[in-house]
């Protein structure tokens, strides 16, 4: 069995520069990753299948689809794993099998611990972990450019999650430049239990270019940065503002901000004790929390 971690993706800063004619937006973002998240497990099987377990399994399909292999998992054509892919793991498997059709069938299990549609790249990280796992099985090098070519059509965050390293993303977020990270910094993720549509948040952006990322080390750049989607997301889900306020006021917080298009917010802390105290405050409000650290 191959086990691949699918860690939460954090946008320490997210600057939206302009709308593009293709419907995407030009971005400048600081990608970082948590030590924790989802897990993808892949094992040899007689036919391709996907099983979803974990606390957020139900958000990705009906109970029948979560508990057992569905008829939709029968291959439609030679060279495709799944007939009707309706999540990014299935799409990633299909992309891989089109390029590497000799890979034998695999049973894929997603252990889903990150909330869905929450701005921390859960689906993108799952797809990237699937590509990495299948590449290991097929003997494909992790840096093979064909993997990146597969990742790009799956979503703007999938290439960053495939790389899995602290980096600056430009273009739609898929053009990556690795920078020095700060592994070990205590990190807290908080989601108030609301899902916001990425498309709706981008539509609500006011179109104002507020400038580029600044130079400096990771923390200097993050502190000088912003998330241009936070305001639009708060309009759609005002509860995000309450999370932001709690984290900003937490003792020991170095930096707090919404990640991606929301609704998950994060804070970096001076100590584990400061992080855990803030997690307790958020939990008492009934919010999902993940105390972790930067990878």
Which residues are marked as active site? 9, 157
**132: nearest Cα among 151, 107, 110:** 151
Burial of 234 (0-12, 13-18, 19+ CB in 10 A): buried
Which residues make up each annotated binding site for ATP?
115-125
Which residues make up each annotated binding site?
115-125
Instruction: Report the Cα–Cα distance between both ends of the chain, in Å, rounded.
Output: 24
**112: nearest Cα among 94, 132, 130, 85:** 130
**7: nearest Cα among 259, 287, 275:** 259
- Rounded CA-CA distance 246/282 in Å is 8
- Rounded CA-CA distance 27/38 in Å is 26
Q: How many CB atoms lie under 10 A from the CB of residue 18?
A: 10
């Amino acid at each position: 069995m191959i086990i691949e971690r699918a860690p939460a993706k954090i946008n320490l800063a997210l600057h939206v520069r302009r709308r593009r004619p293709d419907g995407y937006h030009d971005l400048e973002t600081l990608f970082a990753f948590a030590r924790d998240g989802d897990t993808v497990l892949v094992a040899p099987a007689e036919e391709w299948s996907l099983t979803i377990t974990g606390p957020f399994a139900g958000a990705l399909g009906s109970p029948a689809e979560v508990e057992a292999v569905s008829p939709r998992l029968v291959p439609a054509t030679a060279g495709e794993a799944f007939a009707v892919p309706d999540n990014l793991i299935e799409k990633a498997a299909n992309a891989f099998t089109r390029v590497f059709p000799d890979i034998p069938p695999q049973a894929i299990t997603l252990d889903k611990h990150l909330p869905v549609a929450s701005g921390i790249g859960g689906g993108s990280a799952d797809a990237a972990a699937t590509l990495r796992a299948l590449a290991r099985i097929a003997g494909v090098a992790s840096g093979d450019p064909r993997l990146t070519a597969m990742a790009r059509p799956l979503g703007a965050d999938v290439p960053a999650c495939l790389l899995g390293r602290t980096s600056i993303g430009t273009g739609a977020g898929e053009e990556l430049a690795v920078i020095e990270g700060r592994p070990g910094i205590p990190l807290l993720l908080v989601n108030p239990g609301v899902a916001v549509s990425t498309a709706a948040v981008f539509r609500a952006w006011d179109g104002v270019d507020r400038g580029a990322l600044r130079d400096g080390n990771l923390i200097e750049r993050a502190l000088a940065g912003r998330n241009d989607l936070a305001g639009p997301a708060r309009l759609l889900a005002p509860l995000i503002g309450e999370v932001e306020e709690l984290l900003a006021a937490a003792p020991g917080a170095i930096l707090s901000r919404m990640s991606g298009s929301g609704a998950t917010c994060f804070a970096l802390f001076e100590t584990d004790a400061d992080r855990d105290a803030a997690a307790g405050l958020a939990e008492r409000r009934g919010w999902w929390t993940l105390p972790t650290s930067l990878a």
